[in-house]
Structure 1
Amino acid sequence: MGENGTYYRSFVTLLIVVSLAFGWLLLPYYSAIFWGAVLAVSFSPLHRRITERFPRYPNLSALATLLICLVIVIFPLLVLISALLREGALIYQRLESGELSLGLYYERIVDALPDSVHQLLQELGLGDMFSLQEKLSAGALEGSKFIAGQAVNIGQNTAGVLISLGIMLYLLFFLLRDGAHLARTVKLLMPLDDEHKLMLIQKFITVVRATIKGNIVVAATQGALGGFIFWVLGIEGALLWGVIMAFLSLLPAVGAAIIWFPVAVYFLVTGAYVDATILIAFGVFVIGLVDNILRPLLVGKDTKMPDYVVLVSTLGGLATFGLNGFVIGPLLAALFMSVWSLFPAAIKTHHGR
């Protein structure tokens, strides 16, 4: 028993060390690997249908699904990123040259306010218009500088971007083709009861699909609608603002209104009542209702977590993992809640033995 125990501990130690070393080896391309797995989970139902029609051609089925993924997701995303970076760089040039100034817009809003509001601002210590103008202009300049810097970085690191994209597509092909076998292997290796294994795997798949199919699709729709109405109203940088609204739409209790509502207020105080009415009506009855209509259709009721959990986990994921945190954060939160929900049953099973 002693020798068996020593052998077991040694083997587990070796297993952990080798696994950590392998994870460290893959760390530079973890984003490509992660998104390859996410897309494989998201497109597995489509791949299953194609495989049912062509059961003798697994490679062809995986390739067909991969091409559909390229057309639906990857190519449009690359075009959007390219246009976004180009527009961000252009806005940065206009801000730096002084042609565009947020401080000027703030000055127009303040000038249009009644004297009672001016007095209230003075009492609250917000009457230093010049200081606020400088802060707004500096903040806008820093934000646009970041986007312009990202454009330069991507241009300088084109080889790295292409390698990551190639790894993601290569991995996606094999995950689609061999995904069922890999899932059975993972399920077999998990040190849990079959019922608990099935629950955790289903929860993982459900949350990934819900995040991609639900949250991201809803956010993209709200961002596209927001960018569209900004373009119709002739607002500068409609594409950039649309993308910002899409990201904010991923956060509960924040949403796209944090962008379009101040613009509507600016229209109101500067006398552009028609534009303000159009923007408010479109924001409330079109952009605002997208979440209530699309999300229940795309995300089942059983997959929804409390809004405060989604908000905290998304912000934490962004802070820890960057843009990947939009998916990783809610996923870890869902798995955390699932594992703790299994804890009482695991205790009973342990004591029963």
Structure 2
Amino acid sequence: MKFDILSNTLLRQIALILSIFLLGGLLFIHLDSFIPALLGAYTLYILLGGWVKKMEEKWKMSRSVAITIVMLGSFLMFLLPMYFVGQVLFNSHTLALDQYSSFFKAVKGFVEQIEVKYQVNLLDEKSLDKVFSWITQSATQLLNGAVNGVTGIFLSYLILYFMLRERELLDKTLIKIFPLNQENSEQLLGEVNKLVFSNAIGIPVIGIVQGVTGLLIYLILGVPNAVLWFLVTCIVSMIPILGSALAYIPVSILLFANHENVRGMIMLLYGFFVIGSVDNIFRIWLQNKLGDTHPLITLFGVIVGVQLWGFTGLIFGPILFSLFLLLSTYYGREFQGKDENNSSSLM
């Protein structure tokens, strides 16, 4: 009799779980284009939620007024400039690809000169064309993602409004969703919020600082399309390990190709010693202030994130990768200890 009851309960549980996964998968498939907007809304919620709470408790403002002020202020300070940057990238992405096309032609010409002079075969022409094709495709995907990210800002703000208005309910719901005990769920939510905050602030700030550092030398050396190269430097600087080298090395090679050897050498040395040093020093400072994220985690996260969400993946990709590792850690904390205790008690 007990076996029949357990069987019926187990069957109903399995049927319910399958229904949840089926409906969840169906919703995910048809709403996948809104995931960047949802992630952006939660990121803004982490960044702005404390200000709303402070206005309510310290300055005795109503929640609606506090939300309106915070959302309007953040839009004017951060997102409106991002909108104009997106427009510049959209209008000049063809020019950016032409610049990199010129860079590859210069590299190809230099290699051909070495091959003719020393009678050696250094580089397969088809391999170089494949590399250029891959970079062109990736750059186009990234720039298109930037435009889509700009258009998704307004949807993110709509979701953000309801998140801020139902702040307590959202936090309780997130804690209940985690399949962990109360203590571990609260700690995990705190770690996730810290992770989102450090990536949302740290990654763009590093890109902007290196972009400004690069813009100074672009203007001094009279590099054509200096503002465009500034934006390119900001974007590629968010990619760890390679980073800003994807900008200043092509610029220096283009200068060499135009027989401006002195300016090309200055650009190369400045990029390696100054821009690279700014990245290392500033990244260490941010890690001490906001939290340490290993460069390899950021690198693999960027690779996955760009493929999933385009431009916004530069930020959300590392968060996704770090969240995977974080959940694995909490799994061990939640269940492995219990398994050891159970086994010891049996013995």
Q: What range is the shorter-chain TM-score in?
A: 0.7 to 0.9
Residue equivalent to 1:347? 336
8 A contact 2:240–2:295 mirrored in 1 = yes
CA apart distance, 1:202: 2.0
8 A contact 2:255–2:261 mirrored in 1 = yes
Letter in 2 for 1:39: L
Cα–Cα, structure 1 residues 183 and 86, in superposed 2: closer, same or farther, change >3 Å? same
Cα–Cα, structure 1 residues 319 and 24, in superposed 2: closer, same or farther, change >3 Å? closer
8 A contact 1:88–1:144 mirrored in 2 = no
8 A contact 1:36–1:171 mirrored in 2 = yes
Task: Find out whether 1:34 has 2:39 as its counterpart.
Answer: yes
Cα–Cα, structure 1 residues 237 and 192, in superposed 2: closer, same or farther, change >3 Å? same
CA apart distance, 1:219: 1.3
Residue equivalent to 1:50? 55
Taking the aligned partners of 2:33 and 2:271, their CA distance within structure 1 comes to 41
CA apart distance, 1:278: 4.4
SS of the equivalent of 2:71 reads helix
SS of the equivalent of 2:224 reads coil
Residue equivalent to 1:207? 195
2:295 corresponds to which of 289, 298, 307? 307
Deviation by residue 1:197-244 (Cα, 9 ceiling, x = unmatched): 123212211221111111121012212332443233222232332233
Letter in 1 for 2:75: L
Task: Find out whether 1:231 has 2:236 as its counterpart.
Answer: no
2:281 corresponds to which of 270, 293, 308? 293
2:121 corresponds to which of 114, 120, 124? 124
8 A contact 2:305–2:317 mirrored in 1 = yes
Cα–Cα, structure 1 residues 179 and 61, in superposed 2: closer, same or farther, change >3 Å? same
Q: Which runs of 5+ in 2 are unaligned?
A: 343-347
CA apart distance, 1:101: 4.8
**Percent identity between the aligned chains?**
20
Residue equivalent to 1:166? 154
Residue equivalent to 2:345? none
Q: Which runs of 5+ in 1 are unaligned?
A: none
SS of the equivalent of 2:38 reads helix
Taking the aligned partners of 2:14 and 2:65, their CA distance within structure 1 comes to 44
8 A contact 1:102–1:140 mirrored in 2 = no
Q: What's the TM-score, normalizing by structure 2? A: 0.77
Taking the aligned partners of 2:199 and 2:122, their CA distance within structure 1 comes to 43
Taking the aligned partners of 2:95 and 2:253, their CA distance within structure 1 comes to 26
8 A contact 1:46–1:65 mirrored in 2 = yes
Taking the aligned partners of 2:10 and 2:340, their CA distance within structure 1 comes to 22
Task: Find out whether 1:319 has 2:307 as its counterpart.
Answer: yes
Task: Find out whether 1:78 has 2:62 as its counterpart.
Answer: no
Taking the aligned partners of 1:235 and 1:241, their CA distance within structure 2 comes to 9
Cα–Cα, structure 1 residues 318 and 58, in superposed 2: closer, same or farther, change >3 Å? same
Q: What's the TM-score, normalizing by structure 1? A: 0.76
Task: Find out whether 1:68 has 2:57 as its counterpart.
Answer: no
Letter in 1 for 2:82: L
Taking the aligned partners of 1:119 and 1:214, their CA distance within structure 2 comes to 47
CA apart distance, 1:273: 5.6
CA apart distance, 1:192: 0.7
Most deviating of 55-64 and 44-53: 44-53
Letter in 2 for 1:70: F
CA apart distance, 1:317: 2.3
Letter in 2 for 1:59: S
Task: Find out whether 1:194 has 2:182 as its counterpart.
Answer: yes
Cα–Cα, structure 1 residues 180 and 348, in superposed 2: closer, same or farther, change >3 Å? same
CA apart distance, 1:285: 4.9
CA apart distance, 1:76: 0.4
Taking the aligned partners of 2:213 and 2:285, their CA distance within structure 1 comes to 19
Taking the aligned partners of 2:169 and 2:10, their CA distance within structure 1 comes to 32
Give the count of matched residue pairs: 333
SS of the equivalent of 1:123 reads coil
8 A contact 1:252–1:307 mirrored in 2 = yes
CA apart distance, 1:25: 4.3
Taking the aligned partners of 2:104 and 2:253, their CA distance within structure 1 comes to 16
